[in-house]
Amino acid sequence: MAGSRFADDPLVSVSERFPTAPSGFEVPAVSEPPSAPSTRPFGLRWLTELGVPRQPAATRYCPRRQVSIDVATGLPAPLLNKLEWTTVNHKDGDEGPSKDYDWETVPDVPKPQK
């Protein structure tokens, strides 16, 4: 039972000691609208909608090479630092040329998950 004491500890949770993130293209099963102004946190007043992530069609993960490959050629996709930007997203650390690529990023701060 050593871990149970800290499983949901508000100060030092087990999750925070090894954070994981929702997988890149997963969308939470539950979505709710904002609550009332009296209960909605002040910091959530000014938000920009981003849409939902989409798996890029042109590339897929290659478990043998351990990197993304071009679906058509089977060759490794161009490295990120060789790509040109054409569009950008609204997330810290946008790292790709399209909205598909955009979503490979996650927020900078580790997100504790159960």
80 interacts with another protein by CB under 8 A: yes
What is the rounded end-to-end Cα distance, in angstroms, of the chain? Answer: 16
For position 19 contacting another protein by CB under 8 A, the verdict is yes
Of 1, 47, 57, 72, the one binding another protein (CB under 8 A) is 47
Q: What angle do CA 56, 62, 67 make, to 5 degrees?
A: 80
Does 106 sit near another protein (CB under 8 A)? Answer: yes
23 counts as binding another protein under rule CB under 8 A: yes
Q: Amino acid identity, residue 103?
A: W
Q: How many residues make contact with another protein (CB under 8 A)?
A: 75
Tokens of 108: 């900078």
Cβ nearer to another protein, comparing 72 with 108: 108
Q: What are phi and psi of 15, to 5 degrees?
A: -60, -40
What contacts 60, CB < 8 A, 6 or more positions away? 68, 69, 71
Nearer to another protein, 74 or 113 (CB): 113
Task: Please state the closest distance from residue 68 (CB atom) to another protein, in A.
Answer: 6
